[in-house]
Amino acid sequence: MEVYLNGKFVPYEQAVVSVEDRGFVFADGIYEVVRIYHGKPFLWQEHMDRLRRSAQAIRLKLPAMEELTQAGFETMRRSQLDDATLYIQITRGAAPRLHSFPVGVEPTVFMIARPYHRPAATMVQKGIACITVPDLRWHKCSIKTVGLLLNVIAKQEAEDAGADDAVFVRDDVITEGTSSNFFMVKDGTLITHPADDFILRGITRDFVIELAEEMGIPVREEYITRDALSQSDEAFLTSTGVEVLPVTVIDGQKVGSGRPGPVTMRLWERFDQVVAESVE
C-alpha cells in the first residue's frame, strides 16, 4: 500500500511524520473523509469546500486545491480499491513546541485510501441502539479538527454499555453523534440541529436535507430537547460512513415503534438510488 505524504507517494511502512508535528503535539490540524463508491469519489467538491472552511477557521494555509484534488485522485487510483474511504489530513507542520503559529513552516499533508463497505442491510433493516452522553466538547465543533478525544471516549462509553453509538447532549439539547449528525422525525417532518458551532455540518447531512426537500418531506433545523426526542416517531444518523442509518433504541427506550420508520427508509432508499446512479 502507498500513501501520499508531502508531495510524494511512499510505501505505508515508510511513511514518517516528525515527532514535533503540530498535529501530534497540539491536534493542530484538520481532516476530511471522502467516500469512494466503485472507484469514484462521492460529493468530492462539497468535501473540498468544507476542508477549505476548516482551514480558514484555524488560519491554516492550504496547498492549492487543484494540487490536493490531483493528489487525492491519484491516491485513489493507486489503491485500486472500488469501495473505500479517502482520508485527508493537513496539519500546521513540524516545528519546536510553542503555542504561537510557527513562521515559514510548510503544512504536513497526508492521504490514505482504505477499504470500506456500506452498512450491512441487516443493520439498516433493524436499526441501531444509542446512548446519550454529556457534550463536553469545545464550542467550535463546526471545524473538522483532528482533536477528537471526547468523541473517542463517547464512542467507547457506548460500546461499554452494549450500544452501537452515542449521541451528545448539551444543555438538554441533542447535538449530534460521535461521528455523525442526528435527525428525528415527528409527524412526517424531519428535524435536526441547526448548523451552528455546536455541530459539524455534515456533507451527508446537507445532502439528505436536499433529498428530503426534493421528495416533499418537510425539514426543520431547530433544537431537539430530550423531551421532544422522547416523543419522536423515528430517528436516524447520517455521515459519510453510515449514510442514512436508523436509530431504533436510545438509552434503552424504543424510538417510535422500535423499528426503522417509513420516512427514514424512504430517505435511505433514495440515497441508495443516488449512489447507484453516481457510479453508472
CA–CA gap between residue 173 and residue 183 (Å, rounded): 13
CA–CA gap between residue 62 and residue 49 (Å, rounded): 12
The helix/strand/coil state of 88 is: strand
61, 144, 186, 254: which one is catalytic?
144
Specify which residues 31 forms β-bridges with: 89
Residue whose entry in the numeric block shows the C-alpha cell 420516512: 263
CA–CA gap between residue 192 and residue 182 (Å, rounded): 6
β-strand pairing of 128-134 with 243-250: parallel
Looking at residue 195, its amino acid is A
CA–CA gap between residue 121 and residue 41 (Å, rounded): 22
Query: 44-57 vs 65-79: helix axis angle to the nearest 10?
Result: 130
CA–CA gap between residue 116 and residue 113 (Å, rounded): 9
> By the 8 A CB rule, do 88 and 27 touch?
no
- Residue 126 among the catalytic residues: no
236 CB neighbour count, 10 Å cutoff:
31
Q: What is the set of active-site residues?
A: 144
